[in-house]
Structure 1
């Protein structure tokens, strides 16, 4: 399914989460970049007074960004909006697959009302994200035509769609994230080793050429290496790769069960088991991020 085929509330929460994540990571990059620049400027200490003014400006700006990030906490909006979006997404798939609590009813209007109430309960339970969501309004429907069209399919067609567009899509996403995080982890570690190796090399050269060279950028290199270590810790590449790998295997095990689904009751149980698996991984991710930012 495309994003505009999901409820409007999902679209707002998803966009708000992406914006908050982008803002948070941008602020961190700016802080690291300014600290590296300050270390680089310090190489010219002893020159004109302007260099000290520029240094104060750079460090002051970095400090202001740190205070802003600590007070505004954009990462909290990122986590909360992501959690809200995923809750709506899993509820949407339950609705489309006619899974409990949105199983068949004599009147479709009854099920639609139940889904609408469910969305309101989710929003009320996440009232702390009303402000960021209000900045990303969506004019779409809360129950889209695509959702109703999928719900109207036969059991066999719904099973096939759930297999391809939900389970297999999720599995591909997790496998892709495993590869991406492991690749980024290796790349950043190698870069950090190179930077620290360069700092060691400069220190060794300084033993012999200390008087001949006036500039030794050892400190900026160490600040850069520290920033890389901090970035690796914030992004948790290795930890996420392991968690995503386990979830991908769990989804693979789920796929082996779907061929045995023959009735609406069996399918409802299967969908709820699958959605709980998806929700559990994301809930654990949010919990880890929140705990580490307390």
Structure 2
């Protein structure tokens, strides 16, 4: 496997950091709202109790304002889209696929690829301040990429099949299964929370003198589960990833008929469009 340009690594790291920040803020909001619901049960009449209660509500509001103002999810989506764009360009370059087909000299096509990366960087200037100083000195076309590009047609086909098609198919299949299991798990947790709330509501009829009923915290917990599944889109991603895995499996069989550089170029571009289609659509849905 070859190394990707420093720009790809930076975009991937930015996406991962922004994703973690987004999900941590959401977790924090849900946790504080649940705590506020617990405190709303009026455990005490002391002024300090209501001061703490107010502090929890202010903390939740602060996290909401922080998430809406900083919008870390944009860095998550934009960074991932940028990384995938660079990744697919790298594979086109290594496989000598258009627009990085054979040229009169190696320097010519390397210059074309550098210009391509430069255009990507200009379009995504937000990545500039995220690049660590040590990555700025790294080669944007690593030697390993150049090594793969020099391979003969049959060897490049085998390399692409093993390190791109099969790895992508396994990744999508694995993610489809993981999201399907996660969707079922959180769905069961949500149903259980609602059942607990219903049981508590019915029990309250039999015990009207009991003052502390945790119905509101349980309902807030159930709502948080619903919100979390909507954020993570487990079921939607499970379906999308499964369909993409099947599509890649169909495309995989077409590589056997590739016998020329032109045919390989067409095959590579068709495959890369399939790899990026699901992700691009998902990012668009997230930003709409």
Same fold judged by TM-score > 0.5?
Answer: yes
2-side partners of 1:166 and 1:134: how far apart? 26
Deviation at 1:127, TM superposition (A): 2.3
Determine the C-alpha separation between the residues in 2 that align with 1:125 and 1:29. 32
Q: Report the equivalent of 2:279.
A: 282
Residue number among 180, 187, 190 corresponding to 1:189 in the alignment: 187
2:96 to 89, 95, 98: 98
Counterpart Cα distance in 2 of 1:137 and 1:265: 38
Residue 207 (structure 2) pairs with residue 215 (structure 1): no
User: Residues 13-61 of structure 1, C-alpha deviation per residue, up to 9 Å, x if partnerless?
Assistant: 0000000000000000000000001101112354211111111111101
- Could you tell me how far 1:276 is from its partner in structure 2? 1.1
Q: How does 1:26-105 map to 2 (within 5 A)?
A: 26-105=24-103
What is the deviation of 1:204? 1.0
TM-score of the aligned structures, taking structure 2 as reference length: 0.96
- Unaligned 5+ segments in structure 2 are none
Q: Give the Å deviation of 1:153.
A: 1.0
- Which residue of 261, 266, 270 maps to 1:264? 261
Partner Cα separation in structure 2 for residue 81 and residue 96 of structure 1: 23
Query: Could you tell me whether the CA contact under 8 Å between 1:171 and 1:252 is conserved in 2?
Result: yes
Distance 1:23 1:136, change over 3 A: farther
Residue 240 of structure 2 is matched in structure 1 by 243
Output aligned runs, 1:150-161, within 5 Å: 150-161=148-159
The answer (yes or no) to whether the contact 1:15–1:136 under 8 Å persists in 2 is: no
Residue 231 of structure 1, aligned match among 228, 231, 238 = 228
- 2:113 aligned residue (112, 115, 124): 115
Instruction: Tell me which moved more, 113-122 or 242-251.
Output: 242-251
CA distance in 2, matches of 1:289, 1:170: 22
Count of equivalent residues: 287
Match of 2:128 in 1: 130
User: Deviation of residue 170 (structure 1)?
Assistant: 0.4
Shift of 1:209: 1.6
Q: 1:254 aligns with which of 226, 251, 254?
A: 251
Q: Give the distance between the partners of 1:271 and 1:176, measured in 2 at CA.
A: 23
Give unpaired runs (5+ residues) of structure 1: none
1:260-281: CA deviation from partner (whole Å, max 9, x where unpaired): 0001111011001111111222
TM-score between the two structures when normalised by the length of structure 1: 0.94
Deviations 1:230-264, CA, capped at 9 Å, x for gaps: 11111111111111111111111111100000011
Question: In structure 1, the residue corresponding to 2:216 is in which secondary structure?
Answer: helix
Residue deviations 1:70-116 (CA, integer Å, cap 9, x gap)? 11100011111111100000000011111111111221111111000
